Structure 1
Amino acid sequence: MTNTITFNVRHTHQLTQQQIGALRTLLDVVYEGEFSPEDWDHALGGLHTLAWQGAQIIGHAAVVQRAVLVGDQPYRGGYLEAMGVHPDWQRRGVGRQLMRRVNTQVERGYDLGLLSPSDEGRPLYAGTGWLDWPGERRSFTPWGIIPTPDEEVMVYGRADLGLDLTQPLTCDYRSGDVW
């Protein structure tokens, strides 16, 4: 058996039912059973970067489009969801390879990238160019714009945008975790 890892990108609609099942199983393993139905829903409808070892999916990162405001300026955000590498393959560079591909997708298709980091994932994201958002974080909701001070957000932006990270950052509303 070879240790060669290959990567490909597929939109949700291009994934087979077998791949969707394998992906859901991978995320349940990676997130130790804490990957909710809302988390799964958030990961669908965008681009899936898949890491393969033979016929097995060993890593995944989804980028889905979200509307965000920086201050009062609207941007098209590429939001990273369901990032994970099978425990047997962690600390072997698979996550870094996934993030290099995610960064390229963000650079080519979105104004900026956004993610809500786990403590375990923060060093990987920071090491691939993502920055903590120190400004106020908030969300559009059915009840108006609501501050989300307990949510941590990291961003990856094009230098030409000149983003002011001290401005409020507002995301669109969704079920489950808004960030």
Structure 2
Amino acid sequence: MGPTLPPRGRGQIGVRTQIPAEYGGGVNTLRTAHTSALTAAELRAARALLDEAFDGDFSDQDWDHGLGGVHALVHDGTGTLLAHGSVVQRRILHNGRSLRVGYVEAVAVRPDLQRRGLGGQVMGALEQVIDGAYAFGALSASSEGEGLYLARGWAEWKGTVGALGPQGPVPLPDEDPPLLWGADLDPSYELFFDWRDGDIL
């Protein structure tokens, strides 16, 4: 039997939830908290986990993209960080509307504990935040992580994407399409993401 996911719907931020450790016994703790509520030590632990999980291919800009929103963190009984993800606010222009979107960033599980349900626990918490606070969710998936998101109900955007750059709209024909959560959008209209340093998606 797989891990129990948090209920869908509006949730509380800054809550700790005990969850059974599927492997090895004991109890893990799932915490959701805004960046401002995390200590410097917690942020260092999250960054170290991401560096390890991405084998050093996680830049300072990637880290910056994951800050300023709500984090989901899974710790074991000793307080060691096992998994992390965050959701931050972005603006997406679609069919003449500027939509407030929850963009998922910095999802990682400690390499020796991957494929044991921890990523699903993190995503369940972030999806709950998205359902309660945003028009829909979006993320850019790696080839390794795409299966997790698709299995949870995220869907690939079938239209084109662009960005609203400093000089105006910029088409992004070479970008892989984002995955969306809870979106009911017309793919005949382009998705224009807000501009940022580093990877746009």
Question: Is residue 2:58 matched to residue 1:35?
Answer: yes
2: CA distance between counterparts of 1:52 and 1:122? 24
Amino acid at match of 1:157: G
Aligned twin of 2:129: 105
Alpha-carbon offset, residue 3 of structure 1: 3.9
SS of the residue 2:119 aligns to: helix
Give unmatched runs, 5+ long, in structure 2: 1-23
Alpha-carbon contact 1:157-1:163 (below 8 Å) kept: no
2: CA distance between counterparts of 1:2 and 1:155? 34
Count of residues in correspondence between the two structures: 176
Question: Is residue 2:82 matched to residue 1:58?
Answer: yes
Amino acid at match of 1:71: N
Amino acid at match of 2:50: L
SS of the residue 1:64 aligns to: strand
Amino acid at match of 2:71: H
TM-score, structure 2 as length reference: 0.84
CA root-mean-square deviation: 1.3
Question: Is residue 2:44 matched to residue 1:17?
Answer: no
Give unmatched runs, 5+ long, in structure 1: none
Percent identity over the alignment is: 40
2:179 corresponds to which of 154, 171, 175: 154
SS of the residue 1:24 aligns to: helix
Aligned twin of 1:76: 100
Structure 1 residues 121, 166: closer, same or farther in 2, change over 3 A? farther
Q: Which runs of 4+ in 1 moved over 3 A?
A: none
Larger CA deviation: 149-158 vs 118-127: 149-158
Aligned twin of 1:165: 187
Which structure is higher in helix share? 1
Question: Is residue 2:70 matched to residue 1:47?
Answer: yes
SS of the residue 1:88 aligns to: helix
Alpha-carbon contact 2:72-2:126 (below 8 Å) kept: yes
Alpha-carbon offset, residue 71 of structure 1: 2.4
TM-score, structure 1 as length reference: 0.94
